[in-house]
Structure 1
Amino acid sequence: MDVLINLFVALHIIGIASLLGGFLTQMKALGAGTARFVPAMLHGALTMLVTGVALVGLNQADGQTVNHMKIGIKLLILVVILALVYVRRDEEKAGKGEFAAVGGLTVANVLIATLWT
């Protein structure tokens, strides 16, 4: 079971890298006002959602305790990120506020995951 959990953790980290990497590649364009939500950001957020739900289930099935408050907050943040990216995915330009919110929420999600014990 540990190997399966670790596999999903790795996939979850790949999703985070895709979402945050997509954001970081658009930082220069954000300064010019031409930033957009790239497909990697949507795919990364969806990967995070699927693997996160799987991780909660696998950890509970393994008898480990799961902090439901932490998971709930992370899920809420991810749903907001997904909504912003999904709704604006086909537009040529993303608003600076929306785009910055996605980056900030992504970093907040990473900090919650790593610092909340």
Structure 2
Amino acid sequence: MDVLINVFVALHIIGIASLLGGFLTQMKAMGENAARFTPAMLHGALTMLVTGVALVGLNQADDQTVNNIKIGVKLAVLIVILGLVYVKRDEEKVDKPMFAAVGALTTANIFIATLWT
């Protein structure tokens, strides 16, 4: 079970890298008010959602303690990110505050995952 959990953790990290990487590559364009949500950002957020749900299930099946409040907060933040990216995915450019919000929420989600114990 540990190997399977670790595989899903790795996939979860790949998802967040895709989401945050997509944001970071668009930062210059954001300064020029020409940033857009890339497909990698949407796929990264979806990967995070699927692997996160799988991780909660696998950890509970393995009788490990799961902090449901932390998971709920992370899920709520991810749902907001997914909503913003999904709705604006086809637009040529996204407003600077909305694009910055996705980057800030993604960073917040990383900090929640690593610092909340």
Normalising by the smaller structure, the TM-score range is over 0.9
Aligned equivalents of 1:39, 1:23: Cα separation in 2: 11
1:77 is matched by which residue type in structure 2?
V
Q: What is the aligned-residue identity percentage? A: 80
| Shift, 1:74, TM fit | 0.1
Distance 2:103 2:31 in 1: 14
1:37-116 to 2 correspondences below 5 Å: 37-116=37-116
Code of the residue aligned with 2:59 in structure 1: it is N
AA aligned opposite 1:103: G
Distance 1:105 1:37 in 2: 14
1:5 aligned residue: 5
Moved over 3 A (4+): none
Q: Which residue of 2 aligns with 1:25?
A: 25
Q: CA RMSD in A?
A: 0.2
Unaligned runs of 5+ in 2: none
Show the counterpart of 1:36. Answer: 36
Q: TM-score, with normalisation over the residues of structure 2?
A: 1.00
Q: After superposition, give the CA deviation of every residue in 1:37-95 in whole Å (9 maximum; x if it has no partner).
A: 00000000000000000000000000001000000000000000000000000000001
Q: Structure 2 counterpart of 1:60, which letter?
A: Q
- Give the TM-score of the pair, scaled to structure 1: 1.00
| Amino acid across the alignment from 1:94 | V
Q: Secondary structure at the match of 1:66?
A: coil
Aligned residue pair count: 117
Give the gaps of 5 or more residues in structure 1.
none
Distance of 2:62 and 2:41 partners within structure 1 = 31
3-state SS of paired residue (1:90): coil
CA distance, structure 2, for counterparts of residue 49 and residue 58 of structure 1: 14
